[in-house]
């Protein structure tokens, strides 16, 4: 019959108490997390800049439409008849004319 093997307590000879494979994996994981955290702030800045650009683009479109209307009105008011019509709408009179204001008229039908 073969002799029974002895039960060894403790570490085998030449083995290290440090598990370098686990430490290596943890360091790689820590570096990956650090890199991900370094990308968060720039990505947030890009995201908010895109939203701000969309808002500014809407404002530019609105102002361009308003500019077009105002340019058309300026061109229309270059006509002397249109200018006189606008002045009379504002209550202006020509020199030598007399303005009359009538109050208390019924409003509409």
Indicate the number of domains in the chain. Answer: 1
Across residues 35-53, what is the average pLDDT? 92
- Asked if the structure places residue 11 within a domain, the reply is no
- Model pTM? 0.47
- Asked if the structure places residue 96 within a domain, the reply is no
- Which tens digit of pLDDT belongs to each residue from 63-108? 999 999 999 988 988 888 988 888 888 889 989 988 888 888 887 6
The domain of 50 spans: 20-89
- Asked if the structure places residue 40 within a domain, the reply is yes
| pLDDT for residue 52 | 94
Residue predicted with more confidence, 73 or 7: 73
SS (H, E, C) 47-99: HHHHHHHHHHHHHHHHHHHHHHHHHHHHHHHCCHHHHHHHHHHCCCCCCCCCC
Rounded-to-integer distance, Cα 28 and Cα 19, Å: 15
- Asked if the structure places residue 14 within a domain, the reply is no
- Asked if the structure places residue 107 within a domain, the reply is no
- Asked if the structure places residue 2 within a domain, the reply is no
CB 77 within 8 A of CB 83: yes
Rounded-to-integer distance, Cα 72 and Cα 77, Å: 9
- Asked if the structure places residue 100 within a domain, the reply is no
- Asked if the structure places residue 74 within a domain, the reply is yes
CB 51 within 8 A of CB 45: no
């Amino acid at each position: 019959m073969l002799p029974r093997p002895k039960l060894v307590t403790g570490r085998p000879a030449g083995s290290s108490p440090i598990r370098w494979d686990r430490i290596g994996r943890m360091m790689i994981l820590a570096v990956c997390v650090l890199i991900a955290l370094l990308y968060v702030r720039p990505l947030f800045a890009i995201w908010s800049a895109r939203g701000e650009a969309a808002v500014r683009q809407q404002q530019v479109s609105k102002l361009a439409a308003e500019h077009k209307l105002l340019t058309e009105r300026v061109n229309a008011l270059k006509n002397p008849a249109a200018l006189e019509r606008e002045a009379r709408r504002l209550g202006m009179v020509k020199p030598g004319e007399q303005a009359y204001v009538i109050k208390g008229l019924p409003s509409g039908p």
